[in-house]
A = this chain, B = another copy of it.
């Protein structure tokens, strides 16, 4: 059995802080490690951490495969041939990201491999660690981008042409994959490049575990979410000489829509958020002629998600109609994930491992608010997730924080869960 394997004190947290040098940004405290990380997908900084990761896993004896979306699969051999059991997440961050979101999941996988290697432990079947490309959807506006292509939920060619929204001069996914040298040879497909199951450890990014004084969240699933590009068109005229009745003000219309979207989501017990907005020509004395924003809708019930979307589309269209004869609005759905329910056997491996380590009263079942790569893998293979607490529930912010102890506890649960699943395999 594997219960003698212990995650080594401090090494994992040192690796988190060491790799944060690639993109360190956003000081939130006086300590050396008290900055966030800005490591946008397929940027130079992303290339650096990828290069380091590939070297690191190779030195541990992993075979590395890179697919045509830049997803990195590092496979540690087992006693038997068979599909690798995967631990995956992402090394990219938000522009105002922290040190843990995504990173914890990939480095957690690395730590599992290191621990097996330290102890000359050979699992029954291969164990893979995966770095999925552009989970955040920050630089290229499609979250869970490359795990979704792998799961064949979205189309590769469409994603290749997606343009960056954080660069002054927009570039495409394909251009950046080629530029940083991470457009691999392997086909991007759960069929051509399969895995047995997918485990992911992640910070909660919400306040629930902390408020309930729990160490581990046993994630049962992920709430539904949907992103839609909302394009409001108006007419550019002078702000000083154009009376209200003659205006078609795209920003006024968009503002009314954002306020209304929040109201609608509240009514349906869901969430509506606009994090990204662009205004053209964006000059103080010109009534805006075009505003584009992304509406992010979430709900723990699919019906509620669809009700919110239907209602806001009707209301936004009405707002555009009311605000000037040249005001129009069009909707382009970017991505929709219905509620994800994780695999019972995977969940049970996490629940029993966590319970054995910390006792029933230190763990709780939880539903994830944010989407994760596990939402994509769950559409095709048994999947689950492990949450550790987030200080004050903050994430996507440099001040995102989980303590070394919390990370350590999570990694030990990850190790035990994965090896428990491995021990139960008969294939």
Question: In the complex where A369-B238, A370-B240 touch, is A284 in contact with B206 (Cβ < 8 A)?
Answer: no
Q: Interface stretch among A177-185, A269-277, A303-311? A: A269-277
A282 with B273: CB separation less than 8 A: no
- Determine the distance from Cα of A137 to Cα of B282 in the docked complex, in whole angstroms: 12
A143 with B284: CB separation less than 8 A: yes
**Which one of A165, A205, A236, A371 has the highest number of Cβ atoms from chain B below 10 Å of its Cβ?**
A236
Instruction: Tell me the minimal C-beta distance from A16 to chain B in angstroms.
Output: 19
Query: A27 within 8 Å of B by Cβ?
Result: no
Question: In the complex where A227-B284, A281-B95, A283-B95 touch, is A241 in contact with B205 (Cβ < 8 A)?
Answer: yes
B277 with A277: CB separation less than 8 A: yes
B259 with A259: CB separation less than 8 A: yes
How many chain copies does the complex carry? 2
Which residues does chain B contribute within 8 Å of A206, judged by CB atoms? Answer: 238, 241-242
A294 with B284: CB separation less than 8 A: yes
Which residues does chain B contribute within 8 Å of A96, judged by CB atoms? Answer: 236, 280-281, 283, 286, 289
Q: Interface stretch among A72-80, A115-123, A356-364, A392-400? A: A392-400
Question: In the complex where A239-B275, A259-B252 touch, is A143 in contact with B285 (Cβ < 8 A)?
Answer: yes
A284 with B279: CB separation less than 8 A: no
B262 with A258: CB separation less than 8 A: no
B244 with A262: CB separation less than 8 A: yes
- Determine the distance from Cα of A165 to Cα of B237 in the docked complex, in whole angstroms: 20
Query: A223 within 8 Å of B by Cβ?
Result: yes
Closest chain B residue to A141, Cβ basis: B284
- Determine the distance from Cα of A397 to Cα of B240 in the docked complex, in whole angstroms: 14
A205 with B238: CB separation less than 8 A: yes
Query: A256 within 8 Å of B by Cβ?
Result: yes
Query: A251 within 8 Å of B by Cβ?
Result: yes
Could you give, for residues 109-137 of chain A, a 1 whenever the CB lies within 8 Å of some chain B CB and a 0 otherwise? 00000000000000000000000000011
Query: A249 within 8 Å of B by Cβ?
Result: yes
Question: In the complex where A277-B251, A282-B277, A289-B96 touch, is A370 in contact with B241 (Cβ < 8 A)?
Answer: yes
Identify which of residues 280-302 in chain A touch chain B, using a CB-to-CB cut-off of 8 Å: 280-289, 294, 296, 298
Could you give, for residues 93-111 of chain A, a 1 whenever the CB lies within 8 Å of some chain B CB and a 0 otherwise? 0111000000000000000
Not counting A238-B395, A240-B371, a sample of 6 additional A-B residue pairs whose C-beta atoms are within 8 angstroms of each other reads A235-B397, A237-B394, A237-B395, A237-B397, A240-B298, A252-B259
Q: Which residues of A contact B (CB under 8 A)?
A: 94-96, 136-138, 141, 143, 165-166, 168, 204-207, 223, 225, 227, 235-244, 246, 249, 251-252, 254-256, 258-259, 262, 265-266, 271, 273-277, 279-289, 294, 296, 298, 368-371, 393-397
User: What are 26 sample pairs from A and B whose C-beta atoms fall under 8 A apart?
Assistant: A95-B282, A136-B285, A141-B284, A143-B285, A204-B241, A205-B241, A206-B242, A235-B394, A238-B370, A238-B396, A239-B370, A240-B271, A240-B369, A242-B393, A251-B275, A252-B259, A252-B274, A254-B255, A259-B259, A273-B287, A275-B282, A275-B285, A275-B288, A277-B279, A277-B282, A285-B296
